Amino acid sequence: MAHKCFISFKTKDMPYKKYIHDGLSIDMIDKSLHEPIDSDNEDYIMRRIREDYLSDSTVTIFLIGDKSAENLVGENQFFLKRELQASLYHREGNTKNGILGVVLPDMYERIYTGSGICKTCGNSHTYVNINHDTVISEFAYNYYIPNDKCAWNEDDRYCVLVKWADFCADPTTYIDKAFDKRDHPISTKTKVRPS
């Protein structure tokens, strides 16, 4: 089944967005913005994105590059933040999207930082550095939804995360995973505007 996908990305990462659109064979209906909206009014632009592109999409693909962090000095994250907020918002005429974070190659080492033995449970855990230094808060919070465990498993996360190479090898599987999260019990614990 083809899902309606919106791609959220920084301008620097446009080649990756174009490759998804033109270079991959994906069973999806592309709801992404292909041409900039001709306006300087941020509120008007965001309203158009919400109404014309996001309102009937079902999965948001968030490209995570080196300009996608909340704490990045000098980088305006207005559109990334609003696009993910609109994707997480559920109301009449706007269903909640599944969120698929695709880690671009220049971020592999900053996000996937190895593994180690947990001091709490004694088990081995893989370290995935998803925080305000690597992504915006709307993704970070909904990837690591607060709980009282020492580690998160797939059932504890709303957002799905994948490396670019793995996404390119099997995009439909990851889009389906994000889509399925919309009906998963964890979807009731998401936050549209985390602090």
The verdict on residue 94 lying in a domain is yes
The verdict on residue 141 lying in a domain is yes
Q: Shortest CA distance to 159 belongs to which of 177, 172, 171? A: 177
Task: Report residue 120 as tokens.
Answer: 């709490």
Give the pLDDT confidence of 72-107 residue by residue, as tens digits: 998 889 888 988 998 898 776 668 999 999 999 999
Query: Which residue range(s) make up the domain with 177?
Result: 3-189
What pLDDT is attached to residue 49? 72
What pLDDT is attached to residue 13? 95
Q: Shortest CA distance to 83 belongs to which of 37, 147, 129? A: 37
What pLDDT is attached to residue 30? 63
Count the domains in the chain: 1
The verdict on residue 194 lying in a domain is no
What pLDDT is attached to residue 86? 86
Where the chain has pLDDT below 50, the residues are none
The verdict on residue 195 lying in a domain is no
